[in-house]
Structure 1
Amino acid sequence: MVERFKDICSVEELDRLFEFTEDRPIILFKHSNACGTSAYIQEKLSGLDAVIHRVIVQRHRDVSDEIARRTQTIHHTPQVIILRSNKLIYSASHYSISSDDIAAHLGTDRGTDEQDIFNTKSDNLTI
């Protein structure tokens, strides 16, 4: 069974994710543990057949800020961003986040596989 949410805890992990957008899309989810709306959206996202890379903003605001800088988006929580080839292909926040829209942007490619990114022999990152 695929673990649905993979927490991104450092800018180095984010760097590694961005490298893999050349091959397939990545889904980034900025989540706030203190927000009921964010909890609701997380529940909706858990039904997707895709790996979702989550940043818990209370713990890793630096990663959240780096995502905003690289994608040239305004920070929101909850917020979903999909990247392919290092380009923003989807961004939505709060109740504009749509599982159907996310699935449509992914097509048949269901996002990154944790083993591809974090378990390669040359990679020292661990989650």
Structure 2
Amino acid sequence: MTPWQPLTQAEQLSEIVRESAEQPVIVFKHSTTCSISAMAKSKIERQWADAGLENAKLYYLDLLNYRPISQELAQQFKVQHESPQLLLIQDGACTYHASHNGIRLSDVKQAI
């Protein structure tokens, strides 16, 4: 089972920065009406158990309900907004990001 943590408040971004000093933090930005996004989310859920990322914290952002948070993520971590998108936050900075079919947990594991 994928340990999704819902990202629903802008205040959680400072929490993510703090957490990223202790452990890698992954944020998955998901559009609930997009089939490509649904495929990317499903792929993450299927691969999570074998990805070797149990020390990472995994956040889930519903883009349609929390678009302002997505815009803040893009500004704070200096990445262009895309959907679906996966961000890896380490030591307060985005050290890796991917979107659409480029989202691979094996690449995240290598970036840690």
CA RMSD of aligned residues (A): 1.4
How many residues get paired? 105
Which structure: larger Rg? 1
Gapped runs of 5+ residues in structure 1?
107-127
Instruction: Quote the residue 2:11 is aligned against.
Output: 12
2:62 pairs with 1:59? no
Q: Which runs of 4+ in 1 moved over 6 A?
A: none
C-alpha distance in structure 2 between counterparts of 1:73 and 1:27, whole Å: 14
Alpha-carbon shift at residue 30 of structure 1 (Å): 0.5
**Percentage of matched positions with identical amino acids:** 24
Q: What letter matches 2:37 in structure 1?
A: S
8 Å contact from structure 1 (residues 26, 52) kept in 2: yes
Question: Per chain length, whose mean CA-contact separation is higher, i.e. which structure has more relative contact order (CA < 8 Å, sep 6+)?
Answer: 2
8 Å contact from structure 1 (residues 48, 103) kept in 2: no
Q: What whole-Å deviation, never above 9, does each CA across 1:25-70 have from its counterpart, x for those lacking one? A: 1000110001000000001111214442011010101111110001
Q: What letter matches 2:11 in structure 1?
A: E
Instruction: Quote the residue 2:108 is aligned against.
Output: 102
Alpha-carbon shift at residue 103 of structure 1 (Å): 2.2
C-alpha distance in structure 2 between counterparts of 1:3 and 1:99, whole Å: 12
Task: Using structure 2 for the length normalisation, give the TM-score.
Answer: 0.86
C-alpha distance in structure 1 between counterparts of 2:93 and 2:99, whole Å: 18
C-alpha distance in structure 1 between counterparts of 2:14 and 2:60, whole Å: 14
2:92 pairs with 1:93? no
Q: What whole-Å deviation, never above 9, does each CA across 1:54-108 have from its counterpart, x for those lacking one? A: 11010101111110001111100100000100121110000111121012224xx
C-alpha distance in structure 1 between counterparts of 2:40 and 2:60, whole Å: 12
Q: What letter matches 2:26 in structure 1?
A: I
8 Å contact from structure 2 (residues 96, 111) kept in 1: yes
Task: Using structure 1 for the length normalisation, give the TM-score.
Answer: 0.77
- Report SS of the residue matched to 2:64: coil
